[in-house]
Structure 1
Amino acid sequence: MRKIIWLSLWVVLIVLSACQPMNPPPVENPAVSSPSATPVEQELLASLEAVERVESTPTPQPAEAKHQPIVLTDALGRTVTFEELPKRVVVAGRGVALLTDAVYLFPESFERVVAVSRTSQSPDGDFLALVDQRLPEKIAFETNVGAEQVVTARPNVVLLKPYMQEPLGNPLEALGIPVVYLSMETPQEYQRDLQTLGILFGNSQRADEVWAFYQQHLDTVSNALKDLTDEQKPRVLLLYYSDRDGQVAFNVAPKTWLQTILTGLAGGIPVWTDIELGSGWTKVNLEQIAGWDADRIFIIAYTANPQQVVENLLQDPQWQALRAVQEGHLYAFPRDYYSWDQPDPRWILGLRYLAYRLHPEAFPNFDLTAEARLFFERFYGLDARTFEEKILPVFKGDFR
């Protein structure tokens, strides 16, 4: 290019010199400072020098971006590092339904979740299939899936509950598959593990938005009940009803479980914490239930209709003898596809319901259906029509 510019310049100079008076012969390498150069020649030479300087100056290269690995701490306190955001996410093992509902709070999950262990508490269908239209295209595992099966999904990461470490997590890591454990069993763990998911999906803003929603409702309940004395708090009994293998049983939760925590947050006193409780549900008999003499009794049912269970109990003479029943305070804990008492994203709805039922005077304008509609729209993008057609019809329990 420089040769062409020089040639063009000399042509221009020759033409110009033909129009000028005779001057001494031009110097070999004319410069702008040459006294023999005309103003026009000097301007052209200056332009040429500017071009030469541009061509000779190295083009600045953008600084190479420093690669930042993705580092997070999971529910077991382990540091897990990824070189890039995982593109193939698997959610597997027991407790997976509640965990997957939390994973799908993040929009990125629709593309990145490639396999899920399938389970459901509802005879009305699969909630996840309602949320993710592409679910039929994704790999379906059983809850007792083994590591050799999970590997077939070619995961970049597998999300598990902490109690799945021995049966599934360790074998996966032995095969070189990263594992991240998420507990999400209490409000504090929910806040922490939402941040972990935000890092994993590269969307910490979404984690902050979701938790802000929870915090707002926690604050609403707390502020409304902050002046209550212990004497003003009803004595509450939450009972999980099961009829596995045809054997009816009533169970109470450990002190550290969400059911107990929600009772306290909602302004109630959990009466069942005065007995020796195990690490899981503890079976109790009717004599123990009567001995507690709770002011309010709530029936939880995961695979049955809680409202139907309550109606059956109201016909039982032994239950009719309970003071809570006589005073009209036997309730069916609300549910849709999943019950609202457990560590599923719906637990915030369970808290709002329980606080209202224990202290209706503190929440005079409370509308449980409206709360649920907002929840499913904001968290899962289900519009009003979908809510009316797919969610509302499967509501069961106390929605008065």
Structure 2
Amino acid sequence: MHPSTASRFSHTLFLTVALLLLTAMPHAAARPMAEDLPTQVVTDALGREVTIPRPAERIALGGRAVIMTAGGIYLFPGASQRIVGIGDIQQGKGNFFEAIDPAYGEKTIFHRNVGPEQMAAVFPDVAILKSIMRDDLGDGLERLGVPVVYIDLETPEQYERDLRILGRVLENESRAEELIAFFAARREAIESRVRDIPHSERPRVLLLSYTESAGEPVFSIPPRDWLQTDLVRMAGGTPVWVEGNPGRGWQPVSFEQIAAWNPDVVTIVSYRQPVDQVAARTLARPEWRSLRATQDGRVYAFPGDFYSWDQPDVRWVLGLQWLATRLHPQRFSDLNMESTMREFFAFLFGMTDTQIDSIIVPLLDGDLR
């Protein structure tokens, strides 16, 4: 038997045995918190007081949007060593965390639709989930005896709160404050320079997500209360689409609607295909030539590396900085995105220039020049 096959077989056998034990002993999923073991109480994003072991040595991440929860954990030096199980990450050009974590292969990888029994089978001290996963996953984990701490990480304000929650879980509250200061300083550096621009003089911006259906492009707009909308506002633009999508997810729009908005600036996001190629194909379509943004050369591919910089992954601050340089190039002529990108990965993830050159730079795309 090939070594990798044997390893997978052993791992599968372990999980099978663990699940049988969990079925027989439904309250034995987590490390027991007896009276003589140290514990701590953490207030999570839902305002619940959760008692967890101190230290929390075995952490499980699962459910939807794991790139956000994992992104938060990996900001704390050494914390990744505590992750014993993590959800499968399929967005973008690969798995960033696997690329920077030499021990990633030792972690259990959960299916996207993982159930509480599968997560409990790794015997976590605590599961960290997005709050949207409470009904589908969190409640079941707690019934199995696994403490659950919920976070959101959807807006800059939630980042501040949730980084403090993670700092508490990881007993590294000083690092949490460093991270909060990092994001806050960069946000303020952008907003302070555009604060004096009257709303009537701000560029009208349209952010579009690109997908395909039956080989044809589908452009969608984000809801008005999502981070993508906030990024445009923070960078000194006016999002033209806010009345078109008050809902909870991406909403397709026709080209007729895009033409009716006729924005000053268009940014195109692509989560599955190279965004440079998507933007080039879009601009080659005859109907796009009539748009003001096309005629003025202001249709941009939103940058990314492993993941796009427009979403509520930790890269949102890079997206904000980049967007400001495109909306107000004269005001931000001193903002060099290459050095900004290097500073970001060095401070947040402890990456050296050599690592950035080998891991990040080859995957950069979008309008960065």
TM-score by length of 1: 0.81
Aligned residues of 1:115 and 1:139 also touching (Cα < 8 A): yes
Deviation, structure 1 residue 247: 4.8
Aligned residues of 2:224 and 2:245 also touching (Cα < 8 A): no
Output the CA distance in 2 between the equivalents of 1:121 and 1:247. Answer: 21
Aligned residues of 1:97 and 1:118 also touching (Cα < 8 A): no
Show the counterpart of 2:269.
300
Q: 1:278-317 counterparts in 2 under 5 A?
A: 278-317=247-286
Show the counterpart of 2:76.
106
Q: 1:115 aligns with which of 85, 96, 112?
A: 85
Give the letter for the 1:112 counterpart: R
SS of 2:86's partner is: strand
Deviation per residue, 1:158-194 (Å, 9 max, x gap): 1111111111111111111111111000000000000
SS of 1:248's partner is: strand
Deviation, structure 1 residue 294: 0.5
Output the CA distance in 2 between the equivalents of 1:131 and 1:71. Answer: 31
Aligned residues of 1:80 and 1:180 also touching (Cα < 8 A): yes
Give the letter for the 2:274 counterpart: N
Q: 1:82 aligns with which of 52, 68, 74?
A: 52
**RMSD after superposition:** 1.5
Relative distance call for 1:155 and 1:279 in structure 2 (3 A) is same
Q: 1:1-400 counterparts in 2 under 5 A?
A: 69-123=39-93, 125-243=94-212, 246-400=215-369
Output the CA distance in 1 between the equivalents of 2:195 and 2:67. Answer: 34
Output the CA distance in 2 between the equivalents of 1:102 and 1:242. Answer: 27
Instruction: Report the more deviating stretch, 241-250 or 260-269.
Output: 241-250
Deviation per residue, 1:197-235 (Å, 9 max, x gap): 000000000000011111111111122112111122100
TM-score by length of 2: 0.88
Output the CA distance in 2 between the equivalents of 1:68 and 1:157. Answer: 14
Aligned residues of 2:52 and 2:126 also touching (Cα < 8 A): no
Aligned residues of 1:97 and 1:120 also touching (Cα < 8 A): no
Output the CA distance in 2 between the equivalents of 1:248 and 1:165. Answer: 35
Output the CA distance in 2 between the equivalents of 1:222 and 1:260. Answer: 15
Output the CA distance in 2 between the equivalents of 1:68 and 1:155. Answer: 16
Output the CA distance in 2 between the equivalents of 1:335 and 1:275. Answer: 26
Give the letter for the 1:282 counterpart: Q
Deviation, structure 1 residue 276: 4.3
Output the CA distance in 2 between the equivalents of 1:177 and 1:96. Answer: 18
Output the CA distance in 1 between the equivalents of 2:174 and 2:215. Answer: 47
Output the CA distance in 2 between the equivalents of 1:354 and 1:109. Answer: 31
Aligned residues of 1:268 and 1:358 also touching (Cα < 8 A): yes
Q: Gaps spanning 5+ residues in structure 2: where? A: 1-35
Deviation, structure 1 residue 274: 2.0
Relative distance call for 1:250 and 1:220 in structure 2 (3 A) is same
Show the counterpart of 1:56.
none
Output the CA distance in 2 between the equivalents of 1:107 and 1:197. Answer: 12
Output the CA distance in 1 between the equivalents of 2:44 and 2:119. Answer: 20
Output the CA distance in 1 between the equivalents of 2:137 and 2:73. Answer: 19
Deviation, structure 1 residue 244: 5.4
Deviation per residue, 1:84-105 (Å, 9 max, x gap): 2211000111111222111100
Aligned residues of 1:263 and 1:354 also touching (Cα < 8 A): yes
Deviation, structure 1 residue 270: 0.4
SS of 2:109's partner is: strand
Output the CA distance in 2 between the equivalents of 1:244 and 1:150. Answer: 34
Give the letter for the 1:190 counterpart: Y
Aligned residues of 2:221 and 2:245 also touching (Cα < 8 A): no
Structure number with greater CO (CA < 8 Å, separation at least 6) is: 2
Greater Rg, structure 1 or structure 2?
Answer: 1
SS of 2:241's partner is: helix
Instruction: Report the more deviating stretch, 190-199 or 276-285.
Output: 276-285
Output the CA distance in 1 between the equivalents of 2:254 and 2:44. Answer: 39
Aligned residues of 2:205 and 2:263 also touching (Cα < 8 A): yes
Relative distance call for 1:113 and 1:262 in structure 2 (3 A) is same
Deviation, structure 1 residue 82: 2.2
Deviation per residue, 1:333-368 (Å, 9 max, x gap): 000000000000100000000111101111121111
Q: What is the percentage of aligned positions where both structures have the same residue?
A: 41
